[in-house]
Amino acid sequence: MVICEGGDTIVENGYVIHAFKTVGVSTLKVVEGGLTEVLVVAGGGGGGNGSSGTTEAGGGGAGGLIFNSNFYLTAPSNISVTVGAGGAAATNGGNSIFSTLTAIGGGAGGTNSAGATGGSGGGGSWAASGGTGTTNQGNSGGGGCRFFSFNSIICSMWRRWRRCWICR
């Protein structure tokens, strides 16, 4: 039986869970080693910096996720655990690390641009593409879609009294 110390300890249905929820670096002390399950989730990306009428913004991507159902912990040892923060506006989320496993932070949403690459890619703004997601950790972000709420020259030439959608 694996025995560890550190983080918030939760006992549920016969499982002992050590949860690390505070952003920063902590330590898991392995008292008795063996096979265990490990879930590592990175911080989500921040949305793009949009403001009404001047810039468009995509949503931030989810933080990467790694689940390993057969991770061997050697005893006695201390394992460094890093919990990544969520990204501020237009910045990627922070990576989360457990031993040799690194979950990549979510990509930032685009600001008049494509979304950033990340665990899951950030969403694109305007008609830009979403950022690329990390293989086996997340998905690519969605492309942007621009809605004109005003009578632009292009829309008024095409359909004078109807709204115009331009999507990629």
The total number of structural domains in the chain stands at: 1
What is the pLDDT at residue 164? Answer: 45
The whole-model pTM stands at 0.86
pLDDT in tens, 143-166: 987 655 444 444 444 444 444 444
In angstroms, the CA 62 to CA 141 distance is 9
In angstroms, the CA 7 to CA 83 distance is 11
Q: Taking residues 1-17, report their average pLDDT.
A: 96
* The residue type at 62: A
pLDDT in tens, 52-80: 667 789 999 999 999 999 999 999 999 99
Burial of 165 (0-12, 13-18, 19+ CB in 10 A): exposed
User: Per-residue pLDDT for 16 more than 70?
Assistant: yes
Q: Taking residues 82-110, report their average pLDDT.
A: 98
Percentage of the residues of the chain whose pLDDT score is greater than 90: 77
User: Per-residue pLDDT for 46 more than 80?
Assistant: yes
Q: Is the Cα torsion angle 94, 45, 105, 71 positive or negative in sign?
A: positive
What is the pLDDT at residue 155? Answer: 44
96 is in which domain, residue-wise? 3-167
